[in-house]
Structure 1
Amino acid sequence: MPLPTPELDDRKFQDIVDEAKRLIPRYCPEWTNHNVSDPGVALIELFAWMSETILYRINQVPDRLYTKFLDLVGITPFPPAVARTDLLFWLSTVLDYEVTVPEGTVVATVPGLNQSEVLFSTVEDLVIRRPQLIAAKAVEAANQEQVFDVWDDLRFDDGAVRCFHSEPLTEGDALYFGFANSVGGSVIRLTVGASIEGIGVDPTDPPLAWEAFVEESWVAMGVRQDTTGGLNRDGEVILACPRSMAAFTLGGDHAFWIRVRLLPTRPQQPGYRASPLLSSLQVDTLGGLVAAEHASRVSEDRLGRSDGSPAQEFRLQNYPVLPLREGESLRVSTIGASETWEVVDDFTASGGDDHHYVLDYATGTIRFGPRVRYPDGSVRQHGAIPPDGAEIVMERYRYGGGAVGNVGADTLTVLRTSVAYIDRVTNPTPALGGADAETAANAKIRGPLSLRAGGRAVTARDFERLALETSAEVARARCDAPSAVGEPVRLLIVPRLRGRPQDHQLDDFQLSDALVDALITYLEPRRLIGTTVDISTPYYQGVTVASLIRAFPGRSATIVQERALDVLYTLLDPLVGGTGQDGWPFDLGLSASWLAEQLEAIDGVERVEEVLLFEADLRTGERRGRGREFLTLDAQSLLLSLRHQVVVR
């Protein structure tokens, strides 16, 4: 049950009136008429009414006091979450030697009218180096075991390389390029020498996919420019490589591989009637990608000197503070000695000699151990006390965060830290994950839930609540209890996305390694011994809705169609769908009649004549089976829209 709201004064109107009348004989004995018609009693009642109003306002405990109550039981509001994105640094020219963009390089947005700039800083060193191409292989889709070595034909002037070897061409044929060093996080330029041999294809829309091998799978690479017309003429292909790549052995060569693969053609998309031929290939590095976060860095913050007393507090100059990383620590210095102290969540397990401190990330307050008296009269020091006169210095920390950091793509363009040979910078993708500090209203709701569970993951609801507490990047969590002893607890995570529901793709809902690591780190000390947790994503069931709508006479068919599509994409979205606008519910099927009711409520719609539901393949975009009236979902599935079709008459 929720914590009861305390009443500082529980007296009501009649209580105040009765109390005042009882005081009349003591202070005014000649006053003998205490009836309601007496003017004096009327004044008492007026006073009682005003007093009750004041007491009512006093009893409305301010949010600040409520959060203080929660703080006493160890529940503090969440600090702001930091937004993160990748920054792309472009070289001013192609270089033969390494260029390093140091950790902490600051990039900002362009300040606008009544809007200050937003600062991001890189979280690690970026080393941009020249790639070394050492191998080229061709592999047929029908026979993956047979590998054609085309490296000599590619590197010698009189050679020519057939990209796809099958006759006739087969979907899945690929040409592999191997590098001696990883090109992960690099933007590379492939300068191609080719002739028009791959006839039949649309040069602006070739059925090709550029992919890089990451860990145990192939990941699509971002094609930033392709002037070759599908490898059919001399030109350049500029690719953005994933930030991490893995090496493996192909055809006897151990290397880091990228490939160009032949895709199946879409409807109305022309395909190759013959394979493209390459006569030469040169690879250069144009820039590199590195992770960045919405944070500013402080190299040193001198907080003051200790007075030798327990439970001392110091405050950092900048806050909210981001979680500390390696190299970010508190130093306590005395004459001839300097020690690094360890941050802990609380002093429960701290002894009198443990160099521990507690950091309130939201307010930037640093607390040292208190001295506590116990019932037997003993006094125990929880955490050591800095010696009298010791200087307290915070060495390196980061501060920032908030929803303001969720900036759009290509907005971080101002390089605030000068780096040699770097020409410009941008962010190819939007920054995500930023969230403002937790409100007092939300802390009031979360506090009783946390007290009831005691910070432990016991029930399925506990796992869901703790998953949402882990990171602002977690939008939804669903936990399925194991059906048998020994089976793992399955925790399904829906990551938070920005943008319109119609722009959400299947790959957008993939969990990042950083988010999975954060969930594991947060849940590991809170799960029961013997419980294993399987963190994964729901199964996303693709759905395509085909609808025939009759609009009122005089209404624009185009506008009605756009409104209907917006409703469909929004209602069926995993994040904002459903009637509660908090995401389509798990294990709730979709009814065509219910959708028809929602479409009929749109302004300009006279009636909905037909609604059909189709299962859709989210990879190929193709429909599965015939239209139906109802789509069922299991407990581990969510709907994801794909190419809804609305016809308005």
Structure 2
Amino acid sequence: MPLPAPNLDDRKFQDIVDEAKRLIPRYCPEWTNHNVSDPGVALIELFAWMSEMVLFRVNQVPERLYVHFLNLVGIEPFPPSVARTDLTFWLSAVLEQPVVVPLGTEVMTAAGASSGAAEAVVFSTVEELVIEPPDLKTARTVTADGERVVDVWDDLRFSVEGVPCFASSELTPGDTFCLGFAKSLAGVVLRLTITAQAEGIGVDPKNPPLVWEVWSGEAWIAVPVHDDSTGGLNREGEVVLLVPRAHELLSIGNTPAYWLRARLLAPHPGQPTYQAPPRLRSVQAEALGGTISAEHAEIVPGETIGRSDGVPGQAFSATRAPVLPRREGETVRVVDNDGTAEWIEVDDFTTSGPNDPHYVWESGTGTVRFGPRVRYRNGSVRQHGQIPRDGAQIVVSGYRHGGGGRGNVGARTLTVMRSTVPYVRGVANLRPAVGGVDAETVAEAMTRGPLTLRTGQRAVTAGDYERLALESSNEVARTRCLPAPRGNGAVRLLVVPHVRGVPVDHTLDDFAIGNELMAVIRDHMDAHRLVGTTMEVTTPYYQGVSVVALVHAGPGRPADLVRQRAVEAITRFVNPLTGGSEGTGWPFDADLNAAVITQLLESVDGLERVEEALLFQFDLRTGRRISGARDVIRLDAHSLFLAAAPQVIVR
């Protein structure tokens, strides 16, 4: 519900007329005819109508004042959240010494690169990247059951015949060939130069039943293959791997090392597999680059934002807004005749005394505020926070500017480096940037405000859990709280993250919750839930739905255009974020039937009539239908629909 605005005057037209008539005997006793036909009464009604219009205007509280009301109760609009992605830096040559990409290295999109950064989207690295040459020190083959471990390091280096890639001649799925390194390969772009002979015949060189993996500390995780010219380890060539930024120590065969392994997979139906193990004669490892995390942020150097006049409640604005959450070293300094003093940022001035060098830095607007002087009900006056001396300069040491949906750029768009790095020839983001959400609007804050005030920041009811989860991050789009399946008073919190782009491009992986967002939600909920309450944060089960429709286009309407509009309408309607009749996301517990799809398609421009519409359950992982045609698909309490592979036949 919205925050109820205070009515400064709640009188209506009839109230004003009645009040004026009651005053007639006092001020004009000779006026005795109070009928509607009397000219005086007509004037009263005219002025009553005009007064009601004035009162209506008086009662409209401007948004600016509404924001001040929210601030008075400690509710401020959320600042924008930052889009993040991984940047891969490519070396100009294979080197024997480490290459360092400094913290804060800025990379931007090609758009606007020639005309300046005003139109470009700028990302900066959040850590220092050190690209070190890999040190390959051992090799093992391990059977699928783990009982047989063979040291093949010497044979790999010195044997003319080489070594079989897998330990068991039966080629059991799960057999592995392991390479051990002295140092972690986390984030390294690794090139394996392989010499092999074509004994692993029978496979499709472009689709071998093979996966590369590294140990993350908890599990073996897949390593993306950037390029493979070996045909599945069957010939001389190179394998370029993008090692994830998690690679930990593990012991295999009593040998601790940082392991990289090639694991044999069970072939898919119709996929050819090996008839004999590939035989390797040599393996050489080199670093071609490295990957590091980056965020949508432009580093702004230190600047003077104003000069103090010695009065309470001063406010100064940074040049660029919004301002991202401050890191170490990003602060406000006050420069006066006594020198430079570094002040302390606080969330508010509630506990600040008159001598505490505190300030508040609003991320959304970039405004730096100093403590106010407050008069209390008993007449006493207290200064909350120290006041900078008259004439003192207010200086920010530097900050980061960015955030918002603008940072959700596509893959391979961050390709321009703002400054050169020695031995680095280029950079790219191999995956899209995600997580950028615009700042909360006043309307959204007005909706959230009363919900926050009602419960006092404590999770008691299901609605409290849902509201607090929405407050935890701008990246949270929808929530639902249900009893956990195991019972015992536990609750399950279902979270749907924001997904950018058009619904027709949405996939199941887009609705996954990243580790950073999951940690933010859990930490926020742990701080507000009741002691003893067990909580599980997860995503809904996304039930894939494939719609097959036979429709007829209107005369003169292009079939391709009608088909495109119909597919877009289906994917938008059957979607966790844009679906449903209100366009705010498919409702929980709402089933889907073919009649609703028929009505939806009949509203598509250029479509004359719908001959037939069928629904199929769809496995979003395998990309296959898992049921026959149905008129209705049921949805349980823990699930949401997601359209997949719609087929529209236009006649």
TM-score above 0.5, yes or no: yes
Q: Which residue of 2 aligns with 1:184?
A: 186
Q: Which residue of 2 aligns with 1:120?
A: 123
Q: Which residue of 2 aligns with 1:468?
A: 470
Measure the CA separation in 1 of the matches of 2:134 and 2:608.
Answer: 59
Measure the CA separation in 2 of the matches of 1:154 and 1:527.
Answer: 57
Equivalent position amino acid for 1:205 in 2 = N
Within 5 Å, which residues of 2 pair with 1:390-429? 390-429=392-431
CA deviations over 1:320-345 (Å, ceiling 9, x no partner)? 11111222223345556654433222
Q: Which residue of 2 aligns with 1:529?
A: 531
Measure the CA separation in 2 of the matches of 1:641 and 1:34.
Answer: 68
Q: Secondary structure at the match of 2:527?
A: helix
Q: Which region of structure 1 is more displaced relative to structure 2, 430-439 or 522-531?
A: 522-531
Q: Which residue of 1 aligns with 2:444?
A: 442
Are 2:120 and 1:105 equivalent residues in the alignment?
no
CA deviations over 1:98-145 (Å, ceiling 9, x no partner)? 11111111111123599811111111111111111222222232x123
Measure the CA separation in 2 of the matches of 1:110 and 1:345.
Answer: 38
Q: 1:101 to 1:350 in 2, by over 3 A?
A: same
Q: Which residue of 2 aligns with 1:82?
A: 82
Q: Which region of structure 1 is more displaced relative to structure 2, 37-46 or 483-492?
A: 37-46
Equivalent position amino acid for 2:119 in 1 = S
Are 2:243 and 1:249 equivalent residues in the alignment?
no
Measure the CA separation in 2 of the matches of 1:190 and 1:339.
Answer: 54
Q: 1:391 to 1:217 in 2, by over 3 A?
A: same
Q: Which residue of 1 aligns with 2:287?
A: 285
Provide structure 2 residue ranges, at least 5 long, that are not aligned to the other structure: none
* Selected match of 2:177 from 161, 175, 184: 175
Q: Which residue of 2 aligns with 1:264?
A: 266
Q: 1:593 to 1:105 in 2, by over 3 A?
A: same
Instruction: Quote the offset at 1:200 in angstroms.
Output: 1.9
Measure the CA separation in 1 of the matches of 2:602 and 2:189.
Answer: 49
Instruction: Quote the offset at 1:157 in angstroms.
Output: 5.4
CA deviations over 1:283-325 (Å, ceiling 9, x no partner)? 1111111111221223323344545544333322322111112
Provide structure 1 residue ranges, at least 5 long, that are not aligned to the other structure: none
Measure the CA separation in 2 of the matches of 1:626 and 1:169.
Answer: 37
Q: Secondary structure at the match of 1:291?
A: strand
Instruction: Quote the offset at 1:270 in angstroms.
Output: 2.5
Are 2:152 and 1:150 equivalent residues in the alignment?
yes
Whether the 8 Å CA contact 2:618–2:644 is kept in 1: the answer is no
Equivalent position amino acid for 2:205 in 1 = P
Q: Secondary structure at the match of 1:466?
A: helix
Q: Which region of structure 1 is more displaced relative to structure 2, 504-513 or 47-56?
A: 47-56
Q: Secondary structure at the match of 1:280?
A: strand
Q: 1:211 to 1:111 in 2, by over 3 A?
A: same
Are 2:343 and 1:341 equivalent residues in the alignment?
yes
TM-score (norm 1): 0.86
Instruction: Quote the offset at 1:429 in angstroms.
Output: 1.3
Q: 1:140 to 1:621 in 2, by over 3 A?
A: farther
Q: 1:298 to 1:521 in 2, by over 3 A?
A: farther
Q: Which region of structure 1 is more displaced relative to structure 2, 17-26 or 103-112?
A: 17-26
Whether the 8 Å CA contact 1:221–1:239 is kept in 2: the answer is yes
Instruction: Quote the offset at 1:218 in angstroms.
Output: 2.5
Equivalent position amino acid for 2:75 in 1 = I
Equivalent position amino acid for 1:395 in 2 = S
Q: 1:194 to 1:639 in 2, by over 3 A?
A: farther
Measure the CA separation in 2 of the matches of 1:10 and 1:626.
Answer: 61
Q: Which region of structure 1 is more displaced relative to structure 2, 191-200 or 496-505?
A: 496-505
Measure the CA separation in 2 of the matches of 1:61 and 1:308.
Answer: 32
Measure the CA separation in 2 of the matches of 1:220 and 1:503.
Answer: 24
Whether the 8 Å CA contact 2:78–2:474 is kept in 1: the answer is no
Measure the CA separation in 2 of the matches of 1:333 and 1:553.
Answer: 74
Instruction: Quote the offset at 1:97 in angstroms.
Output: 0.9
Measure the CA separation in 2 of the matches of 1:249 and 1:69.
Answer: 61
Q: Which residue of 1 aligns with 2:207?
A: 205
Q: Which region of structure 1 is more displaced relative to structure 2, 562-571 or 256-265?
A: 562-571
CA deviations over 1:559-598 (Å, ceiling 9, x no partner)? 7766665555544443334444433444445556655665
Q: Which residue of 1 aligns with 2:219?
A: 217
CA deviations over 1:350-397 (Å, ceiling 9, x no partner)? 344444322221222222233334344444443344455654332232
Q: 1:19 to 1:610 in 2, by over 3 A?
A: closer
CA deviations over 1:452-476 (Å, ceiling 9, x no partner)? 1223323222222222222222222
Within 5 Å, which residues of 2 pair with 1:124-139? 124-139=127-142
Whether the 8 Å CA contact 1:613–1:630 is kept in 2: the answer is no
Instruction: Quote the offset at 1:93 in angstroms.
Output: 0.9
Q: 1:574 to 1:310 in 2, by over 3 A?
A: same
Q: 1:575 to 1:21 in 2, by over 3 A?
A: closer
TM-score (norm 2): 0.86
Measure the CA separation in 2 of the matches of 1:212 and 1:202.
Answer: 24
Q: Which region of structure 1 is more displaced relative to structure 2, 130-139 or 262-271?
A: 262-271
Whether the 8 Å CA contact 2:249–2:256 is kept in 1: the answer is yes
Measure the CA separation in 1 of the matches of 2:150 and 2:459.
Answer: 54
Q: Secondary structure at the match of 1:258?
A: strand
Measure the CA separation in 2 of the matches of 1:32 and 1:642.
Answer: 78
Q: Which residue of 2 aligns with 1:196?
A: 198
Q: 1:510 to 1:150 in 2, by over 3 A?
A: farther
Q: Which residue of 2 aligns with 1:234?
A: 236
* Selected match of 1:273 from 272, 275, 279: 275
Q: Which residue of 2 aligns with 1:94?
A: 94
Q: Which residue of 2 aligns with 1:68?
A: 68
The count of aligned residue pairs is 646
Q: 1:391 to 1:414 in 2, by over 3 A?
A: same
